[in-house]
Amino acid sequence: MRAAVIGSGAWGTAFAKVLGDAGSEVTMWARRESVAAEIRDQHGNEGSLPGIRLSKLITATTDLAEAVDEAEMIAIAVPSQTLRGNLADWAGFFPADATVISLMKGIELGTLKRMSEVIVETARVAAERVVVVSGPNLAPEIAADQPTATVVACTDEDRARQVQHALATPYFRPYTSDDVLGCELGGAVKNVIALAYGMASAIGLGDNTKASLITRGLAETSRLGVALGADPLTFAGLAGLGDLVASCSSRLSRNRTFGEHLGRGESLEQAQAATRQTAEGVKSCLSIRDLARAHSVEMPIVEQVEKVCHEGADPRVAVKLLMTREMKPE
Ligand SMILES: NC(=O)c1ccc[n+]([C@@H]2O[C@H](COP(=O)([O-])OP(=O)(O)OC[C@H]3O[C@@H](n4cnc5c(N)ncnc54)[C@H](O)[C@@H]3O)[C@@H](O)[C@H]2O)c1
Ligand SMILES: O=P(O)(O)OC[C@H](O)CO
């Protein structure tokens, strides 16, 4: 198949590699000509994925129209909060029948929309043409051909199966799902829980604390998902528990790393200066908190992460507040 990948950061690059290794012809879009030229001429992207070699069949351009020309699949991996503005410029170039694949894990500030909803609304693409790919998918590990699994979610089962086949490689095993909402929420909320995990880690808290954070983090993710109409079983799967465990336990996770900076007492600005790539949970903790409040769902960990990130709260005080909440059954 012919595929375009928009966004040449860590995940866009690793995903292009998967598509290429699975047999598609891939054109990537990069913002900077230096990145496009490096992918095209040197088959690498040192700034985002040091040491990774890409197939010579993967090419890149800074011209969006050229990137998506005749594409049957268009995968998007840009920061969640820029997507709406990006699509306003880009959507006119998308071929009418192309499948649009969302790789992003965030909730839009203000509108509280999921990325697939932003795509449907802004690119005027029917919901059944939008596929979400989400799971325990740390880009550097995938780019190094380390085996993992993922979920390909779409309301159109045939389209999900088509993308599943277009992504299958010996190191990347996709499963299909029709629970687009659950998969997207799992991916967005785990970033916030990974921030909390990073903070706990930096404070020096132990494995019981971390296991409690993962488990109760998953409980609040599922609570929000069920309130919004997701399948509760999705949260026990790759796009729920799988992704949560990967991000919390890995030093490769940008969200966990960002949380560690905050846990060491750095301010939001200091943590931002120390980390370069996208840590979606930092902004999505605000939108997820607002989404939960709008649906009267309690998300105490998300609430505390927001306070540490944006209100200057001390992570140690956040832990104390979580531990002294009203007693209740599990
Ligand atoms: N890195 C991973 O392991 C991973 C895995 C799964 C999902 N994701 C998700 O994929 C999305 C992208 O993450 P990433 O890891 O590729 O981030 P990244 O920071 O490595 O790359 C982001 C890309 O977006 C581009 N970009 C930045 N601002 C932009 C703007 N205003 N307009 C257009 N493009 C802009 C950057 O140039 C870069 O190419 C996020 O939602 C993330 O949660 C990441
Ligand atoms: O590096 P993070 O924290 O953005 O996590 C990357 C992926 O979402 C893991 O599945």
Active site residues: 190
Query: Which residue is closest in CA terms to ligand 1's atom 41?
Result: 104
Mutate to test the pocket of ligand 2, among 134, 146, 185, 191 (most ligand atoms within 8 A of CB): 191
Identify whether 145 is part of a domain: yes
Residue ending a domain, choose from 128, 145, 178: 178
Distances (CA, A) of 158 to 74, 128, 161, 275: 17, 10, 5, 40
The continuous run of DSSP H or E covering 174 comes out as strand 172-177
| Cα–Cα separations (whole angstroms), residue 174 to 10, 49, 67, 73 | 19, 22, 25, 16
Read off the DSSP letter of residue 98: P
Element (H, E) at 102: strand 99-102
- The pLDDT tens digits along the chain (330 residues) read 999 999 999 999 999 999 999 999 999 999 999 999 999 999 999 999 999 999 988 999 999 999 999 999 999 999 999 999 999 999 999 999 999 999 999 999 999 999 999 999 999 999 999 999 999 999 999 999 999 999 999 999 999 999 999 999 999 999 999 999 999 999 999 999 999 999 999 999 999 999 999 999 999 999 999 999 999 999 999 999 999 999 999 999 999 999 999 999 999 999 999 998 889 999 999 999 999 999 999 999 999 999 999 999 999 999 999 999 999 999
Residue ranges making up the domain that contains 239? 181-323
Asked, for residue 304, whether it belongs to a domain, the answer is: yes
Distance from the alpha carbon of residue 246 to the mean position of ligand 2, in angstroms: 8
Q: Is 190 in the pocket of ligand 2 (CB under 6 A)?
A: no
CA nearest ligand 1 atom 18, residue: 9
Report yes or no on 328 lying in a domain: no
Instruction: Write down which residue in 130, 159, 178 finishes a domain.
Output: 178
268 CA to middle of ligand 1, Å? 19
CATH of the domain at 287: 1.10.1040.10
**Burial call 182-202: b when 16+ CB within 10 Å, e when fewer:** bbbbbbbbbbbbbbbbbbbbb
Q: Examine the domain organization and report whether 26 and 165 are in the same domain.
A: yes
* 204 and 160 co-located in one domain: no
Hey, whose CA ends up nearest to atom 7 of ligand 2? 138
Same domain, yes or no, for 229 and 275?
A: yes
| For the chain, the helix, strand and coil percentages under 3-state DSSP, each to the nearest 5 | 55, 15, 30
Alpha carbon of 45 to ligand 2 centroid (Å): 18
Quote the ipTM score: 0.99
